[in-house]
Every structure is written in C-alpha cells, then in structure tokens.
Amino acid sequence: MAEPLLLTYNLSPDAFLALRALCDRLRIRCRTVKPEEYALPIGALAGIPVAAVPAPAPQARFDEAMLVICHMLSDQLDALLEGLRQAGVRVALKAVLTPSNVAWSSIQLHSELAREHAAIRRG
C-alpha cells in the first residue's frame, strides 16, 4: 500500500500548523496543493498513474478549505478525524480518494463536495 497522504487546499496558517503537527504524529504525509495544480487528476497528485492528464486551467480555482485523504487504513482515518476534532480544525469539504474520483480534478471534486455540503445543510 502507498504511503498515507493528506492533500490540503486553502487552509489558514493556524489550521495548517495544527494539521501538520497531527499528520507528523500519525505518520501521514501532508501535501499542500497549489492553485496551478487544481486541474490535475487527484490520483496524479497522490502519486497514482492516471491515463489522461488534462491541460491545467489557470483560471479555475476555489478558495474554500478542502482535504483529500489518500492511501489510509480505517484506523488511520479515524485517528486523523478525531485529531482534527480535538485540535479544533474544521474543514467542511473532505473526501477520500476512491476509484470513482481518482481521475477527477481538484476543481471537479470541490464542485461535487460543495453541492453535497449545500444539500446536507438544506436538510
């Protein structure tokens, strides 16, 4: 299995520091995704070969914080989520890398998570 990895987007400096300390303690690699990488497949960002890599779209971006959890066992995932709660780090948009979303761009994933989050908030 690949090394546990957490892709981070648009975290505040305080949230990133708390998250980085948590990841270090849990032996999870933490990688900040830059806006110029948002058009790349999530799988490619996580080190998985993905067949088609679209050309980056520099104008496509988002500002909300988002986390993508990659290559983690359920115990690691549980410890990460509990650690986030204890540290007071709140990120509404979270996803796990799956075979269904491995070829999606960060923009596509963000759009889907934002729609789901809005639907949940509406009840």
Range 50-59 contact pairs with CB under 8 angstroms and sequence separation of 24 or more: 50/102, 50/103, 51/103, 52/103, 54/105, 57/107
Q: What is the pLDDT of residues 1-43, one digit of tens each?
A: 689 999 999 999 999 999 999 999 999 999 999 999 998 999 9
Domain 5-122 has CATH 3.30.450: no
Q: What is the pLDDT of residues 48-72, one digit of tens each?
A: 988 765 555 555 789 999 999 999 9
Model pTM score: 0.91
